[in-house]
Amino acid sequence: MSFVSEAEEKSPGCPFVYVVRKDQDVYSQTLRKLFNESHGIFVGLQKDEKEKAGKSRTAQLVRVSKNYRSVIRACMEDSHQMAISARDPVMHMHYSTQVSVLSAMELIWNLCEIMFIEAAPAGLLLCHLLDWVRLHVCEVDNMVCEVLRNESPAKHENFWNVVTIFVLQGRMDEARQLLSKEASANPTSLHMCKVLDELMKKMPVLSPGNNQTLTEMELKWQHWHEECQRFLKDGTFASNPHMEVLCKILLGDENTILEKKELMTTWYHFLVTRLLYCHPTVKHVELHLYAQSSLDMFLGGESSPEPLDSILLAAFEFDIHQVIKECSIALSNWWFVAHLTDLLDHCNLLQSHNLYFGSNMREYLLLEYASGLFAHHSLWQLAVDYFDYCPEYGRAYLEHHIERISLDTEHKALKVLRICEQRMMTEQVRSICKIMSMKAVRNNRLGSALSWSIRAKDAAFATLISDRFLREYCERGTFSDLDLIDNLGPSMLLSDRLTFLGKYREFHRMYGEKKFFAAAKLLLMLMTARIAPCSFWMTLLTDALPLLEHKEVIFSADQTYELMKCLEDVMAAEPKKEKLQDDDAEIMKVEMLRLALARNLARAIIKEGTLEES
Amino acid sequence: MEDVVAKYVSQKISKTRWRPVSATALQPPEVFATGSWDNEENKISIWSVGDFAGLVPNGEYHGEPHLLCDIQHSGDVMDMQFLDQERIVAASSTGSVAIFRHHQNNQTLSISQKWEQAHYYDHSWGSASCTGIICNSPEIFTIGEDGRINVFTTDHKEAIRTIDNADSSTLQAVTRLRTTEILTVNSIGQLKIWDFRQQGNEPSQIFSLTGERVPLHCVDRHPNQQHIVATGSQDGMLSIWDVRQGSMPVSLLNAHEAELWEVHFHPSNPDHLFTCSEDGSLWHWDASSDVTERKSFLHTSGRNTSFLPHSSVNQSVISAWLSNDPTKDRMEITNLISNPTLSVNSLDVLGSCLVYGTDTESIYVKKDLFV
């Protein structure tokens, strides 16, 4: 947790309000690229799981790991550029710190990749470790460039330092090339150079290409070692201390190597160099034997190890859980541990470890990371996929978080809705639609409101809105939003009131189109089938008036009886709450209706009678 | 997929649009604009994918898009269109519509005109999101969640025409049909044609999807044959309409698995159509009968010569999009994104170039569509 002061404009008048944020790094502009790009890799990894086994599976996981690392590197590059272009010293510091954090992350990740994911056999392991050192100990690269750029490199003050660096990093070809420059520049040391060159050339190495066995390798190594020893003893290099040192390094003399501390800059470089010349066939389970002692020797009691040192040490000691624990403490984001742990889990390295709280470690870290993303105004979309791949609590977290997203526009609401619908989160779907529907009602957009409640299949709310439509009709005498009501289609069946609204509008349309018989039949049906709410019957009966008074007989005798019954039902149901002012108009209306009904009945009986007789 | 260049831009992209190239120019489009959404501070940005003279001598420059300039935009960018080479019209979720000017000599963007609260529910309730714009020089038509249609011109401070309550649901997208007619789609699956020669506030024609009232999210008109219109809906369905006849779509094509956010006919090669969707996919629909016909011509080797030319003449007249004869299965569909993740919100095609923007905060440019 960290405190970040927000821009003052966000909290007007109160500069003492601080925004507390769960995961500070989530808010970094440059790191957003890391989150977005790694999201794709993460999802990819979860999807093509279980397809392969054995060797190709390892290769696949290593490829994924490399993808993650290249994303970190790209991000580092960006931060570096930002640091260069930043004019503000505070920002410059910020980006420089970011670069160093990212580079530490990449360093740790790379070591974990070598130790846990790749888990190469003896020999090959050392090749990977050497590559690792070459990639990450780059302080010396500038020195190398400077020397090589010199017209006569052999005369440069750092010439021997550079040769030594090459040897310490096991870059024999480059060291030999430089040595040949010395040989040509300095005829007196020609012989020495030749001998040393020969030794370097002969040094046995296990490379991915050749398939020699370990015993073969060890035998060769023994032989080569003795040869070096011989040259050192007979004083071949006595006249040139630099070459003597190099020969001692080849022999794996730990004190000599340690003297070149400043050329290695870090203890893990020392460790790898030490392994290269003392224990070339080390297995990764044996590394812990040398790691701690290398660290102690290198620091020499002068300084205490930093968090990075203990993380790397834990990795060398093959203690995955310690690595993850230390990283969680040292790094200011969950991104690193969450992704690394997930990857290691895919390598089946974490099975045995269950937490006493929550689910397993992988899920715990992913949930933490995703929760941090969800708190972000924009990155929340990424978090959804992470929750999806947390079998135990992912869904609960998602349900909890998704309800807190502010639905500013319909567009955003649709996106959130899609997420919920895809995961059958009916409760959340309903809640989102309800919120949108309420908003629309508040804005007097009944059409939109109805659409949202139809989408949520929220019958109660649809009824409420239908009532608003009907009330508006009663007040104004016309329908608003005809385009919507005319096109309800099957969704009309969602609620009784909505059905009534749709059918009632249909009645008006038929009436408008002069389809009187159909209209009359529909009107009657609305009452007899109890589709219309009782409060609306009077309005419907009033609507029947012009049909009753029409010059043509529209309602049959039977239909008129039914209408009469409806009227009486209304009158009977009407409580005795007669208001005085409405009284006259109301009584008038009823009287008119009764009259019209009676007249229509008379006309209908005559008409039906004559028809039957004819 | 190596020919696609991607760039992560640290903002979710809601719109991408190529800057128009003049009709006489032969070079491919180089400059495009993007708009972002859902950020604390949204932006309109101008990018270039052009080859830089002097940077790479042989012109084999496959670099990623690089930022020319950007400007803050209040609210989500809901829609965006180039008015001309220099001016961009943008619709905001705050209900305002603004014109931005791109000064190409010093690569800056400035706001040159803004209509605040072009869309609103009620002056007391506040603004409504503006969901779409279409420029039909000199007029700019805007639509919004408030169901309103506005007509602006650059020389007027106020709307020159407004239709309140043009739609009872949200108007989702708009396109130009003919000189005085525009076409809108709404969230209950209707297409409405509005004729601005008429004074009334009613649409001149309404079309609708049958039954299910599925919201329509986008619309585009065939560049040459003005009666052919394509729409995309919430369930990912692509519909082709002939606005001369009937009130139902000519064909319904099952396409994406989620919201179809944008549909575009290729402006100069309209037998090709592009759609993108919430499900993270982007499809290229090729209805040109070229492939199958050339093939069949070779196979029949002249036996049916009297028949073939006849049919191909017919085809070119009634357009490939309207012949929905299922037996002539000649639609070729290609998915242009192999690993879909998050939504592809917007796309634009011009010449042989495609640009699209996604919710994974990245923009992609594909340069040789028809190779």
Query: What per-residue confidence (pLDDT) applies to A49?
Result: 64
Pick the range with the lowest mean pLDDT from A83-92, B83-92, B305-314.
B305-314
A316-345 exposure pattern, b = at least 16 Cβ within 10 A, e = fewer? bbbebeebbebbbebbebbbbbbbbbbbbb
| pLDDT category of residue A355 using cuts at 50, 70 and 90 | low
Pick the range with the lowest mean pLDDT from A327-336, A498-507, B299-308.
B299-308
Query: What per-residue confidence (pLDDT) applies to B298?
Result: 39
Q: With an 8 Å Cβ cutoff, is A33 touching chain B? A: yes
Nearest to B78 among A29, A411, A448 (CB): A411
Query: What per-residue confidence (pLDDT) applies to B152?
Result: 94
Per-residue model confidence as pLDDT tens digits over A281-321: 888 888 888 999 999 999 887 788 889 999 999 999 888 88
Interface test with A, best of B7, B9, B11, B38 (most A CBs within 10 A): B38
Q: Which residues of A touch B146 (CB under 8 A)?
A: 443, 445
Cβ separation A447–B8 shorter than 8 A: no
- The answer to whether residues B124 and B141 touch, using CB atoms and an 8 Å cutoff, is no
What would you report as the CA-atom Rg of chain B, rounded to the nearest whole angstrom?
A: 21
Cβ separation B147–A40 shorter than 8 A: no
Residue type, A259: E
> Does the structure show a pLDDT above 50 at A388?
yes
> Does the structure show a pLDDT above 60 at A496?
yes
Query: What per-residue confidence (pLDDT) applies to A158?
Result: 85
Residue from B161, B136, B158 nearest B148 by CA:
B161
Phi, psi dihedrals of residue A257, rounded to the nearest 5° = -60, -45
User: Which of helix, strand or coil describes residue B54?
Assistant: coil
Interface test with B, best of A409, A421, A455 (most B CBs within 10 A): A409
From the DSSP assignment, how many helices (H) and strands (E) are in chain B?
A: 2, 30
| pLDDT category of residue B28 using cuts at 50, 70 and 90 | confident
* Alpha carbons within 13 A on the beta-carbon side of B294: 4
* Alpha carbons within 13 A on the beta-carbon side of B345: 28
> Does the structure show a pLDDT above 70 at A351?
no
**Region B67-82 average pLDDT:** 94
Residue A288 in tokens: 């812990």
Nearest to B169 among A40, A377, A451 (CB): A451
d(CA A497, CA A544): 20
Per-residue model confidence as pLDDT tens digits over A394-413: 999 999 999 989 998 999 99
Pick the range with the lowest mean pLDDT from A74-78, A91-95, A482-486.
A482-486
> Does the structure show a pLDDT above 90 at B148?
yes
Mean pLDDT of chain A: 85
End-to-end CA separation in angstroms for chain B: 12
User: Which of helix, strand or coil describes residue B17?
Assistant: strand
> Does the structure show a pLDDT above 80 at B52?
no
d(CA A493, CA A498): 7
- The answer to whether residues A35 and A370 touch, using CB atoms and an 8 Å cutoff, is no
Query: What per-residue confidence (pLDDT) applies to B62?
Result: 57
Query: What per-residue confidence (pLDDT) applies to B317?
Result: 46
Cis peptide before A546, with omega less than 30 degrees from 0?
no
> Does the structure show a pLDDT above 70 at A9?
no
Per-residue model confidence as pLDDT tens digits over A155-184: 888 888 889 999 999 999 889 988 888 888
Per-residue model confidence as pLDDT tens digits over B294-319: 444 334 333 333 333 333 334 444 56
- A83: Cβ–Cβ under 8 A, 6 or more apart, which residues? A92, A95, A96, A98, A99
Nearest to B129 among A36, A410, A491 (CB): A410
* Alpha carbons within 13 A on the beta-carbon side of A500: 26
Residue type, A374: F
Higher pLDDT, residue B42 or A455: B42
Residue from A445, A291, A347 nearest A64 by CA:
A347
**Region A121-134 average pLDDT:** 89
Instruction: Using the structure block, give the residue that is written with the tokens 């939109």.
Output: A448
Q: Edge-to-edge, what's the strand order for the sheet holding B260-265?
A: B260-265, B272-277, B282-286, B332-335
Q: Left (φ > 0), alpha (ψ -120 to 50) or beta: where does B280 sit?
A: left
* Alpha carbons within 13 A on the beta-carbon side of B296: 14
Per-residue model confidence as pLDDT tens digits over A533-569: 888 888 888 888 888 888 888 888 888 898 888 888 8
Beta bridge partners of B141: B134, B151
Interface test with B, best of A6, A77, A414 (most B CBs within 10 A): A414
Query: What per-residue confidence (pLDDT) applies to A22?
Result: 58
* Alpha carbons within 13 A on the beta-carbon side of B99: 22
Angle at CA of residue B190, ends B185 and B194, nearest 5°: 60
User: Which of helix, strand or coil describes residue B146?
Assistant: coil
Give B292 to chain A, closest Cα distance, Å: 36
> pLDDT over 90 for what percent of chain A?
30
Per-residue model confidence as pLDDT tens digits over A199-210: 999 888 877 766
> Does the structure show a pLDDT above 90 at B230?
yes
Residue type, A498: L
Q: With an 8 Å Cβ cutoff, is A165 touching chain B? A: no
The DSSP letter of residue A235 is: T
Cβ separation A410–B187 shorter than 8 A: yes
Torsion sign over Cα B78, B81, B85, B87: negative
Q: With an 8 Å Cβ cutoff, is A434 touching chain B? A: no
Q: pTM for this structure?
A: 0.85
> Does the structure show a pLDDT above 80 at A585?
no
